[in-house]
Amino acid sequence: MGTSLEPAHTEFPASPRPDPNHADCRGVASVLSRVGDKWSVFVIMMLSDGPKRFNELKRMINGISQRMLTLTLRGLERDGLVTRTIFPTIPPRVDYELTDLGRGLQEPVKALGEWAIAHQDRIAAARTRFDERNGG
């Protein structure tokens, strides 16, 4: 028998990939840009064991500027992942804590962070090989 030019596999998944111009994709992209941002991942990881004050978070997250921590916390608060509680003391005390929605991200974020830590050497080696091959 000869080779047939007819497609052998004509079944498609029940849920085809969504159109990238579809509103659902834009909505998901918006959420992923927040929760996938490196500083958001660190903040969520640091808040996973309870509320923290701003300066405590800043000390725990190596390399984050005060401005970037402020922007990250505001974004997480806007998205309903973090709450900000102001205590009427002198000076005022402000605590940041994960919401129920934010706590739901703990496991995926932790898994992502652990994966990155476990594979950072292999990724660095792959980057070096790529750069050497491509004159980078």
Output the pLDDT for position 21.
Answer: 61
Evaluate if pTM is beyond 0.75: no
E-strand ranges in 12-57 read 52-53
For residue 23, what are the CA distances in angstroms to 18, 85, 122?
A: 10, 34, 36
Q: What is the CATH number of domain 26-133?
A: 1.10.10.10
Strands (E) in 4-134, as ranges, are: 52-53, 82-87, 93-98
- Taking the C-alpha atoms of residue 27 and residue 39, their distance in angstroms, rounded to an integer, is 20
Give the pLDDT confidence score for residue 118 in this predicted structure. Answer: 95
Q: Using CA atoms, how far apart are residues 60 and 28, in angstroms rounded to an integer?
A: 29
Q: Which residues pair with 93 in a beta bridge?
A: 87
Task: Read off φ and ψ for residue 102, nearest 5 degrees.
Answer: -65, -40
- pLDDT of 17: 60
Q: What is the pLDDT of residue 15?
A: 53
Average model confidence (pLDDT) across the chain: 85
What percentage of residues in the chain have a pLDDT greater than 70? 82
CA 74 to chain centre: 15
pLDDT in tens, 39-50: 998 999 999 999
User: pLDDT-derived band of residue 24, with 50, 70 and 90 as boundaries?
Assistant: confident
pLDDT for res 32:
76
